[in-house]
Amino acid sequence: QVQLVESGGGLVQAGGSLRLSCAASGRPFSLYTMGWFRQAPGKARQFVAAITRSDDKTYYADSVTGRFTISRDNAKNTVYLQMNSLKPEDTAAYYCAARLGLVSTLPSYDYWGQGTQVTVSS
């Protein structure tokens, strides 16, 4: 069992920055691929970024490449999403997720956090 709790969301103006955190507990954090997804009202859950278990290789959706950075600190059992140059279209509920396996861009992860809302105003 893995429990994930996101924090750091909020309201920000376009062009601003936020850093999301996801604290994990339960089974060893280092066993899991970690990812971030987002979901806007009426839309499907969308892949944002992922980071591998062993070599910290990162993956990003085209829409966020160059603006967002995913990182992990296994000693603190925490994964982060640094979001810069935010746009109104980034507005969504953001979810962290853990997967006991390879990186996937599909919402096929084993554990999910409760979500944290990010709202970007014009």
Q: Give the pLDDT band of residue 27 (cuts 50, 70, 90).
A: confident
Other beta carbons less than 10 A from residue 67's beta carbon? 15
Taking the C-alpha atoms of residue 105 and residue 100, their distance in angstroms, rounded to an integer, is: 14
Taking the C-alpha atoms of residue 18 and residue 10, their distance in angstroms, rounded to an integer, is: 8
Taking the C-alpha atoms of residue 109 and residue 4, their distance in angstroms, rounded to an integer, is: 12
Task: Determine the pLDDT at residue 1.
Answer: 82
| Chain segment 70-92, per-residue pLDDT in tens | 999 988 999 999 999 999 999 99
Residue 93's nearest CA partner among 16, 14, 4, 20 is: 20
Alpha carbons within 13 angstroms on the beta-carbon side of residue 86 total 23
Residue with the larger pLDDT of the pair 29 and 119: 119
Average pLDDT, the chain: 94
Taking the C-alpha atoms of residue 99 and residue 111, their distance in angstroms, rounded to an integer, is: 7
Q: Which two three-digit tokens encode residue 98?
A: 């853990």
Q: Which two three-digit tokens encode residue 56?
A: 């910290």
Q: Give the pLDDT band of residue 6 (cuts 50, 70, 90).
A: very high
User: Residue 28 pLDDT more than 80?
Assistant: no
Phi/psi for 67 (5° steps) reads -115, -35
Q: What is the DSSP letter of 32?
A: S
